[in-house]
Amino acid sequence: MLFLPSAAGLLFLLIDGLRRLPAFGHYPGPYGMVLNGVAVTERHATNLVSAVNFDYRAFDTLGEEFILFTATTAVVMLLRNMRGESEPPSARESRKEGASDALRAFALAFVVAMIVLGGYVVVHGAITPGGGFQGGVVLATGAFLLFLAGETLAMKRLAPNTMLEIADAAGAAGFALLGLGGLIFAGVFFENFLDLGKPGSLNSAGMIPLVSISIGLEVAAAFLLIWSEFLDQALLVRGEE
């Protein structure tokens, strides 16, 4: 009985909301068009999405980054070892489990390539599509391939949890410190205080590449930390069976 009126209300709101959206292909706002016109000369960044994220709206991205940081902390806290639970069995015991030879060969062959690709995407954030968030996930995937290959021990050794926690915090702090650098050297929080360089070259766009690198570090560490916690849970459950 409650369902019909609520469904009708939802339908009405949905249709009403959709009707008021701008027609597809006729973007009404001036903000994006202004940015498209001035960003390349103003910031020397050719990837405008990165310029918006890491410079024009860097303060929002700081909040977004701390959402990621807080959520990672929460996941680590939720999945910690409870009282009365046995310690997860060491990764050595679950080695080479469930991975076929073909999967192992391909995953191991791609580890280095994925890490190089991730680093490339991170440092070229200001020039070509990509940036800290995308590249950070690719970097994390590179280390995660080791797990796919059944080399859980190698993955833990490549990225131990303590190191991941430090990298996660260092990435978040690095971004905030860059903002503070703007406050100190240019007078405004997140104002660019570095040489802008030549558009299209690797060290252009002032602090955008640095922001990209610190975010890439944080994202890669956060994702690996989350996966590692879930992995420990899986080992724990498998150990109890």
Q: In 3D, which of 145, 162, 175 has the Cα closest to residue 66?
A: 175
Count of residues in the chain? 241
Q: How far is 115 from 141, CA to CA, in rounded Å?
A: 8
Q: How far is 56 from 198, CA to CA, in rounded Å?
A: 19
Using rule CB under 8 A, residue 46 touches another protein: yes
Least CB distance from residue 87 to another protein, whole Å? Answer: 15
Q: Which stretch binds another protein (CB under 8 A): 15-23, 98-106, 163-171, 185-193?
A: 15-23
Element at 191 (helix H, strand E): none
Using rule CB under 8 A, residue 22 touches another protein: yes
How would you class 182 by CB atoms within 10 Å of its CB: exposed for 0-12, middle for 13-18, buried for 19 or more?
Answer: buried
Using rule CB under 8 A, residue 41 touches another protein: yes
Using rule CB under 8 A, residue 188 touches another protein: no
Using rule CB under 8 A, residue 241 touches another protein: no
Using rule CB under 8 A, residue 133 touches another protein: yes
Using rule CB under 8 A, residue 66 touches another protein: no
- Nearer to another protein by Cβ, of 80 and 184: the residue is 80
- One character per residue 168-187, x = contact with another protein (rule: CB under 8 A): --------------------
- Nearer to another protein by Cβ, of 53 and 94: the residue is 53
Please state the separation of Cα 167 from the chain's center in Å.
Answer: 13
CB 143 within 8 A of CB 172: no
- Nearer to another protein by Cβ, of 15 and 184: the residue is 15
How would you class 55 by CB atoms within 10 Å of its CB: exposed for 0-12, middle for 13-18, buried for 19 or more?
Answer: buried
What is the DSSP annotation of 200-228? Answer: TSTT-STTHHHHHHHHHHHHHHHHHHHHH
Least CB distance from residue 120 to another protein, whole Å? Answer: 14
Please state the separation of Cα 23 from the chain's center in Å.
Answer: 32
Determine the angle formed by the axes of helices 208-240 and 132-148, rounding to 10 degrees. Answer: 30
Q: Which stretch binds another protein (CB under 8 A): 34-42, 99-107, 112-120, 141-149?
A: 34-42
Least CB distance from residue 105 to another protein, whole Å? Answer: 29
Residues that bind another protein (CB under 8 A): 10, 14, 18, 21-27, 29, 31-33, 35-36, 39-41, 46-49, 51-53, 57, 60-61, 64, 67-68, 71-72, 74-75, 78-79, 82, 127-129, 131, 133, 199-200, 219, 226, 229-230, 233
